[in-house]
Amino acid sequence: MRTLLFLLEKEFKQIFRNKGIIRTIFIAPVIQLILMPLAADFSVKNINLAVVDHDHSTYSQILINKITASGHFKIAAYNASYKEALTTIEQDKADLALEIPEHFERNLVRENYQKVYVAINAIEGTKASLGGGYLASIINSFNADIRLKWIQPDHISPSPTIGITATNWYNIFLDFHLFIVPGILVTLLTAMGSMQAAFNIVQEKERGTIEQINVTPIKKHIFILGKLIPFLVLSTVIFTIGLLVARVFYGIIPVGSFVVLYGSLIIYLFAMLGLGLLISTYSETQQQAMSLSFFFINVFNMMSGLFTSVDSMPAWAHTVIQTFPSTHFIIIMRMVVLKGSGFGDITYHLAAMFIIGLIFNTWAVLNYRKTT
């Protein structure tokens, strides 16, 4: 125990002497947590629409006004022909083109039927699908409005209808920040914790001080613990600062217990710092450690469910990401922050993170070569 305390004293002194590490660990995550949720928004707005109105009627103008009033679209151009509208799309000045045919109002009134044509720029798939969906929904709403206006209730027999009442649980106003901020905080912990842990042993190798430690009677597991605990403490501080930033800037107050949050955090850091230490045992230079760390961090960020739903991934990917600690901790964060879940609700995810962490840390201890 005394040996471990001496190692911890040495590690903390080294960390706080390096001003660059302090700025990287504390200042960078705060700035990223403030800015990233403002930029990373799943909703699609300001979709550029090219309009070709061959009818120039009252109804066509009502439809165009309804589209622009939705807040999702802005008129990029009024074109005289579909060919001009398509050129606007080809020049990336518009994302969609809406063509309203001649006699749109007349056919709608006389024949109760009319078509409009929508062309979608599908280069950016997400924007195309959402934009097309928004536009179709608005046109359907317009169609329902005019049907309601024309139908005379006194002249038709009543028909059964189904009323729908929807309630948003856990996120009443569908606030995007409530969903994304906890996930971004996890990614910052992943980057800061695992990367700094990976650099730590490598720095000892580059400075030559690792040789001095190797000739001492310090056991391998004590040495690994001495490297893991300081970054576990610093990552906990980063997490606390992140919760404060989330509360001050986004008004996010966890519904669940802080005991559950911090208990889950310790297990998560046990896994991620173990990965960082494992990477450091395989690396001889900081460049190697950085490359390996970036590889794992990018894979975790892209596949852990931060931006895309895990359930929508193929079966093989769903199986693979169960081995990612960040996947489980993102789920835990959202469950505790939004739903107020307790330890009983997240037992599976805690067990998975602990097993993964046990494998990483055991592997790091066994792989560390201590020569005398």
Return the CATH number at 54: 3.40.1710.10
Task: Identify the burial level of 126 via C-beta atoms within 10 angstroms of its C-beta, where 0-12 means exposed, 13-18 middle and 19 or more buried.
Answer: exposed
Are 205 and 287 found together in one domain?
A: yes
Are 222 and 345 found together in one domain?
A: yes
Are 351 and 260 found together in one domain?
A: yes
Q: What's the pLDDT score for residue 121?
A: 86
Instruction: For residue 345, give the DSSP letter.
Output: G
Instruction: Lowest mean pLDDT of 27-36, 163-172, 208-217, 223-232, name the range.
Output: 208-217
Q: What's the pLDDT score for residue 153?
A: 53
In a domain, 163, yes or no: no
Phi-psi region of 170 (alpha: psi -120 to 50; beta: other; left: phi over 0): left
Are 350 and 332 found together in one domain?
A: yes
In a domain, 233, yes or no: yes
In a domain, 298, yes or no: yes
Structure tokens given for 156: 């038709």
Distance in angstroms (rounded) separating the CA atoms of residues 177 and 246: 9
Are 147 and 178 found together in one domain?
A: no
**Averaged pLDDT, 169-197:** 84
Q: Listing from the earlier edge strand, what are the strands of the sheet with 96-100? A: 73-78, 47-53, 96-100, 117-120
Are 28 and 133 found together in one domain?
A: no
Domain end call among 102, 126, 155: 155
**Averaged pLDDT, 253-264:** 94
In a domain, 164, yes or no: no
pLDDT digits (tens, 9 = 90+) for 321-331: 999 999 999 99
Domain end call among 124, 155, 186: 155
Are 126 and 29 found together in one domain?
A: no
Position 372 confidence tier, pLDDT thresholds 50, 70, 90 = very low
Task: Identify the burial level of 156 via C-beta atoms within 10 angstroms of its C-beta, where 0-12 means exposed, 13-18 middle and 19 or more buried.
Answer: exposed
- Is 275's pLDDT higher than 80? yes
- Is 31's pLDDT higher than 70? yes
Task: Identify the burial level of 37 via C-beta atoms within 10 angstroms of its C-beta, where 0-12 means exposed, 13-18 middle and 19 or more buried.
Answer: buried
In a domain, 92, yes or no: yes
> Do 333 and 182 contact (CB within 8 A), yes or no?
yes
- Is 337's pLDDT higher than 50? yes
- Is 33's pLDDT higher than 80? yes
Are 35 and 65 found together in one domain?
A: no
Prediction pTM value: 0.78
Are 181 and 324 found together in one domain?
A: yes
**Average model confidence (pLDDT) for the chain?**
83
In a domain, 277, yes or no: yes
Which residues, in sequence order, are CB contacts of 175 under 8 Å at separation 6+? none
- Helices and strands counted in the chain (H then E): 15, 4
> Beta strands of 32-90 (E only): which ranges?
47-53, 73-78
**Domain encompassing residue 121:** 47-155
- Is 258's pLDDT higher than 50? yes
Q: What's the pLDDT score for residue 316?
A: 87
Instruction: Lowest mean pLDDT of 159-173, 187-201, 269-283, 332-346, name the range.
Output: 159-173
In a domain, 112, yes or no: yes
- Is 46's pLDDT higher than 70? yes
Q: What's the pLDDT score for residue 50?
A: 92
Q: What count of residues does the chain have?
A: 372
In a domain, 167, yes or no: no
Element (H, E) at 118: strand 117-120
Domain end call among 120, 155, 190: 155
Q: Which of 289-293, 330-334, 367-371 has the highest average model confidence (pLDDT)?
A: 330-334
Structure tokens given for 284: 């001889």
Position 42 confidence tier, pLDDT thresholds 50, 70, 90 = low
Q: What percent of the chain has pLDDT over 90?
A: 25
Are 51 and 30 found together in one domain?
A: no
DSSP-assigned letters across all residues of 84-113: HHHHHHHTTS-SEEEEEPTTHHHHHHHHS-
Report the relative pairing of strands 73-78 and 117-120 from DSSP bridges. Answer: unpaired
Output Rg (C-alpha) for the chain, integer angstroms. 29
**63: nearest Cα among 147, 140, 149, 134:** 140
Position 28 confidence tier, pLDDT thresholds 50, 70, 90 = confident
Q: What's the pLDDT score for residue 163?
A: 58
**Averaged pLDDT, 210-227:** 74
Q: What's the pLDDT score for residue 2?
A: 77
Q: What's the pLDDT score for residue 342?
A: 93
Are 331 and 247 found together in one domain?
A: yes
Position 318 confidence tier, pLDDT thresholds 50, 70, 90 = confident
How many separate domains does the chain show? 2
Distances (CA, A) of 100 to 49, 104, 107, 181, 197: 13, 7, 12, 42, 61
- Is 82's pLDDT higher than 80? yes
Are 320 and 345 found together in one domain?
A: yes
